[in-house]
A and B are shown apart, each in its own frame.
Chain A
Amino acid sequence: MTPVVSLRGVRVAHQGRTVVHAVDLDIQRGSWFGLVGANGSGKTSLLKALAGRLPFSGGACLIGGEDMIADRAGRAEQFGFAPPADRLPDSLRASEMLAFVGGHLDRVRRNLGPLRQALGVDPLLDQWIGNCSAGMKQRLAIAAAFAGGQKLVILDEPFNWLDPVAIFDLRLALRQMVDDGLTLITALHDLHALVVACDDGLILANGKKRIDLSHGMLRDAAVAPSLFEKEMIDILRAGAAE
């Protein structure tokens, strides 16, 4: 099956320093791809570059078979992306922000689907973003990624700041959307979420691909999660020590 996103030898530079080195990855349509790595391993830079928020400094980036390595605006148009929650505009109400991203609030509601309930979006709509707590802002940032209705969505550590109930509900809602055809790419720190939710994944260490996590590996990991966790921690430690 032809992957919907295919990266070949991509590099990302930040402030003159290469932070992602020659990464290859393939993401299938209608799957949940998890990116795992230590702090500073290049996850956010890679995801931002894929979403057009940063330029790639080399390699090939095929989206739907078209090379978009030099087309940042095109990539930004293809992907829904959750902006950093702490950088949402304080002076807008949640409804205004989502309406600006999605074009119309009714359309946003449709695009959110099961997330509307899972994120508890409706009670937040009349709130000023500046008055929201960190968790509420995180919910709105995730909602913003889906507001535009793209079929490819990138979330950078979506479960941060959320309470356990919200994490559970969000994970189920995202899984449901993926089963309905969404292609979801998330950076994660939680290995449990990776095992129970993702179809494929990748471990990054120091900006380099450390290991591909195939569907089979993740299904096996679901049977023996403790063993998988130990293996992954060893890999991450080894990567950090390099």
Chain B
Amino acid sequence: MTAIKPSLTEEAVIVAHRPDRSSGFAARLFALERRSMKNAIKACFALRRDRVLALFILAGFLSFLHFWGGSQPWPMTAGGGGGVACLLGFGIERFLDGRLAFHETDGLLPVAALRRQERRQYKMAWHLVGFGVAAFMMLVLRAALLPVIVPGYVAGALCGQVTLHVVRSIAPVRAAAVRRRVLIWPRRWLAGLGAAVVLAPVLLLVARLPDQTARLWLAGIGAAVIGLALTGIDHAVVRFMAGAGHAPWHVIRHHVRGLVAFCVPAALVAFLAIGPAGGGVLLAVSGGSLFLVSLNILVALLYAKQAASLVIMLTLAMIVVIANMLPIVLPLFLIMLIWQLVRRAAARTWIVA
């Protein structure tokens, strides 16, 4: 017998909210977010070819993780695994705090976000999801790493909580204003020049090291840290600019002023202090940051905020897979990716919904 499929409206009645499921995993707030995320994922992979591509990327990434993990010495994979778990715990804790702050003031279920017990349940549920993801990745990487990720994840989450308390106790009412400034910062030429000035003495110190490989690594890490600080985007600003008629390239140009102002003088200092290889590393790392911010902007133009994060993660995973399996086609892939995203994002210009 063929089952009668309920209409979307009826389905919403049945599935969206079950009145008795108001504790633990089924807390209303968690259920709301979970549904929202599930819908965003479904929308991202609405086409069969998108789902197949995502599965291919995931399978490739996991195989890479597995074979790479197997070939590395245990201390290195343990350190890497613990570090990833720590970062995940930290990131999820900070993310959840931001979500709860949103629900308190502008969300649909403020009561749940304001009640201590519901908050705790909501956080715990998402942390279990986050920990599950970390555990799965470690199982693929090397099953013996599982004991390492528990303290790593917990330490990261605790660290996230402590930093939030510290920030609030130092600047209890200025946090939002500080966040806005931090997001505006990368868009200024002066910020890029300032970042280059900060990096210059570091490069001069690094240049004194005897080992050229160490010099290049440290110069690259320094540039990556500063480059990442200059890649922050404000999702709302990006969407607003597109809605107001700015073409994707214009939105990107608006956001990368700081990065451009940083990379030229920083590469020059690295060239003079470390040599041509140093300059090359700086330019390569800055180019990577430039690609990352462009990718962030283009994806933000095409997807809602939650879905955008997921698409970025998957795209980066795909880049890692291709870089390891077929490095020769990576530049072509990156060009095609950006070209395709720009074409799709351009169609969104002027849409003020």
Contact = CB atoms under 8 A, between A and B. Distances in A.
Interface of A: 13, 15-16, 48, 51-54, 72-73, 76-77, 81, 83-84, 87-93, 95-97, 99-101, 103-106, 125-126, 128, 130-134, 144
A53 B12 contact: no
A73 B31 CA distance: 19
A92 B37 CA distance: 9
B173 A83 contact: no
A83 B306 contact: no
Given A52-B114, A92-B32, 18 more contacts: A15-B173, A51-B110, A53-B105, A73-B114, A89-B32, A89-B108, A91-B37, A95-B12, A95-B13, A95-B16, A99-B12, A99-B13, A100-B109, A104-B13, A104-B19, A105-B13, A126-B7, A126-B9
Interface residues on B, range: 35 or more
Nearest to A127: B8
Contacts of B244: none
B19 A91 contact: no
Nearest 4 pairs of A and B residues by beta carbon: A16-B173, A95-B12, A73-B114, A99-B16
Nearest to A79: B110
Contacts of A77: 111
Interface string B162-199: 00000000001110110000000000000000000000
Contacts of B304: 90-91, 130
Interface string B303-327: 0101100000000000000000000
22 contacts: A52-B114, A73-B111, A73-B114, A81-B110, A83-B106, A83-B108, A87-B102, A89-B32, A91-B37, A92-B39, A93-B39, A95-B16, A96-B12, A96-B39, A97-B108, A100-B109, A101-B109, A103-B19, A104-B19, A105-B9, A105-B13, A134-B352
B36 A15 contact: no
B35 A95 contact: no
A129 to B, nearest CB: 10
Given A91-B36, A126-B8, A134-B353, A53 B13 contact: no
Contacts of A76: 110-111, 114
A95 B8 contact: yes
B255 interface: no
B108 A103 contact: no
A15 B13 contact: no
A48 B105 contact: yes
A52 B174 contact: no
B111 to A, nearest CB: 5
A87 B106 contact: yes
A96 B16 contact: yes
B40 interface: yes
A73 to B, nearest CB: 4
B17 A100 contact: yes
B43 interface: yes
Given A77-B111, A96-B12, A126-B9, A91 B106 contact: no
Where chain B touches its partner, the secondary structure class is helix
A205 to B, nearest CB: 24
B48 interface: no
Interface in B75-111: 102, 104-111
A134 B177 CA distance: 27
Indicate the member of A81, A83, A88 with the most B CB atoms within 10 Å: A83
A122 to B, nearest CB: 9
A42 B36 CA distance: 32
Contacts of B35: 92, 96, 100
Contacts of B37: 91
Contacts of A84: 106
B108 A100 contact: yes
A13 B306 CA distance: 31
B39 A53 contact: no
A83 B307 CA distance: 22
A103 B17 contact: yes
Interface in B28-61: 28, 31-32, 35-37, 39-40, 43
Contacts of B109: 100-101
Contacts of B102: 87
Contact of A53 (B19, B106, B115): B106
Contacts of B306: 91
Nearest to A108: B13
A77 B307 CA distance: 31
B181 to A, nearest CB: 13
A97 B17 CA distance: 9
A77 B37 CA distance: 26
Given A84-B106, A96-B12, A99-B12, A91 B17 contact: no
B95 to A, nearest CB: 16
A99 B11 CA distance: 11
Nearest to A147: B108
Contacts of A144: 108
Nearest to A89: B36
